[in-house]
Amino acid sequence: MHRPRFRRSRRLTAVLASTAAAVLLAASCSGSSEGTGADDDPGKKATITFWHGWSQDHEVEAINQLIAKFNATHPNITVKATPNVTDDKLVQGVRSKNGPDVVSSFTTDNVGQFCSSGGWVDLAPFLAKSGIDPAATFPKATLDYTQFQGKRCALPFLADAYGLYYNKDMFAAAGITAPPKTMSEFKATAAKLQQYNPDGSIKVAGVMPTFHGYEFTPAHAMAQWGPSYVGPDGKSNLATDPRPEQFLTYHKELVDALGGFDKLEKFRSGFGDEFSAQNPFQVGQVAMQLDGEWRTASIAEEAPDLKYGTAPLPVPDDQADKYGRGYLTGTVIGIAKSSHRQAAAWEFVKFLTTDTDAVNAFAATIHNVPTTFAALASTPLANDEHFKPFLDIFKSPHSNTTPASINGGKYQVTFQEFCYGWEAGRVPDLKAGLAGVDRQIDADTAQAGR
């Protein structure tokens, strides 16, 4: 009597166990999204949308090639890419019910907003499920700028490193043999390279140091001083940290050494568009320029005869041991809260950010810095004499970026506006002015606090 029941029970257990095993097997094969919040099956046919900021033809073509590569291994997922998307369009899309699945931003400024608002979903469960250890995959600097207060809502999708471009012909004509390494050398070199017209106006600038001089923004240039921006109490500390004051004092001296603000600004107003063949460095209007690594691709395409070199931007004289550092930022990528196909979206994000061949191919095409250890070790860009210094800047432990904030880049805009006033001579007391900037940034942060 008991045996049949026992047998039935064992049979039932065996059936249940095999069913469970089959379910688990199926789940692991299909990459079930358990624990990630995603409710779609990445093994099923799906169409996802990808919003990105690239707009130039060769960049859009490179994205399309990446998608084609992805489709070779994921034929069930169709990716529709939308180019030239800025962050404001991104947020408007994320909040809609039919917004994008995969989202990317050219700036790390808004990561704090994306993470804290939940607009971009937490990627930690996806990484864990895929067995990816972020610390073993991505360099620390990129991990820092893709999270906010411990929440990882983005991954690095190629990085930007900022350094010095210099015109070798102009250097040779001025008898300068090597790029400057300290800020005092930088000022002397720039002054030596500067050329004037007979009427006293600038003919060629040694460097365009005013803060509207394209990439010569306060954030990019001040990175050489290694500022902290935020104190241990979480409040803005531009006035208490001595480095912003040192930076701005030096900057004023540099502007004065190159003819003064008015003369420089008048010269700058005649510059062509930054992202065109009329870029002032490419056409010889400036002898040196602070710029990102992507400029190497533009020069190769638009000014192939230009003889130029690249190097890290100089550091303050009292921080000579930090030479090699630079400002870092990069494109960040994530999954939108609005996505109904988050598991499929993750497959695409994982491919773009961790597939070594994909990362290297895209980095080589658009001349950006690859963002995984594996890709950095094998990138063909290391053989490019112009690009290699940017890889070194990226690897420098002293390189830094601007911290993520709950209200995006608003604190940078506030500081930037103050810097415009400072360089134009409208700020009588630098220390008091910086204290005012701190108060404003703290008030803005409190307004955004949730």
- Contacts with another protein by CB under 8 A lie at 53, 55, 84-88, 91-92, 94-95, 105-107, 109, 113, 117-119, 212-214, 217, 265-271, 273-275, 329, 337, 407-410, 412-414, 416-417, 420-421, 424, 426, 440, 443-444, 447-448, 450
Residue closer to another protein, measured from CB, 185 or 265: 265
**Exposed e or buried b for every residue in 268-279, given b needs 16+ CB within 10 A?**
beebeeeeeeeb
CB of 115 to another protein, least distance (A): 11
How far is it, in rounded angstroms, from Cα 190 to Cα 287? 8
CB of 163 to another protein, least distance (A): 17
Exposure on the CB side of residue 94, measured as CA atoms within 13 A: 24
Residue closer to another protein, measured from CB, 132 or 424: 424
CB of 277 to another protein, least distance (A): 15
CB of 200 to another protein, least distance (A): 12
Residue closer to another protein, measured from CB, 56 or 184: 56
Residue 216's φ and ψ, nearest 5 degrees, are: -80, 60
How far is it, in rounded angstroms, from Cα 280 to Cα 292? 14
Residue 319 DSSP one-character state: G
Residue closer to another protein, measured from CB, 114 or 247: 114
Residue closer to another protein, measured from CB, 124 or 413: 413
CB of 420 to another protein, least distance (A): 7
Angle among Cα 246, 252, 254 to the nearest 5 degrees reads 100
Q: Which two tokens mark 385?
A: 């004499």
CB 255 within 8 A of CB 425: no
Residue closer to another protein, measured from CB, 53 or 309: 53
Residue closer to another protein, measured from CB, 262 or 318: 262
Q: Which two tokens mark 32?
A: 């079930």
Angle among Cα 397, 403, 406 to the nearest 5 degrees reads 160
Residue 344's φ and ψ, nearest 5 degrees, are: -65, -40
CB of 184 to another protein, least distance (A): 28
Exposure on the CB side of residue 98, measured as CA atoms within 13 A: 1
DSSP-H helix ranges across 140-275? 140-144, 168-173, 183-193, 218-222, 242-257, 261-268
| H or E segment and range at residue 152 | strand 151-152
CB of 216 to another protein, least distance (A): 11
Residue 380 DSSP one-character state: G
Residue closer to another protein, measured from CB, 113 or 353: 113
CB of 29 to another protein, least distance (A): 34
Angle among Cα 175, 179, 181 to the nearest 5 degrees reads 130
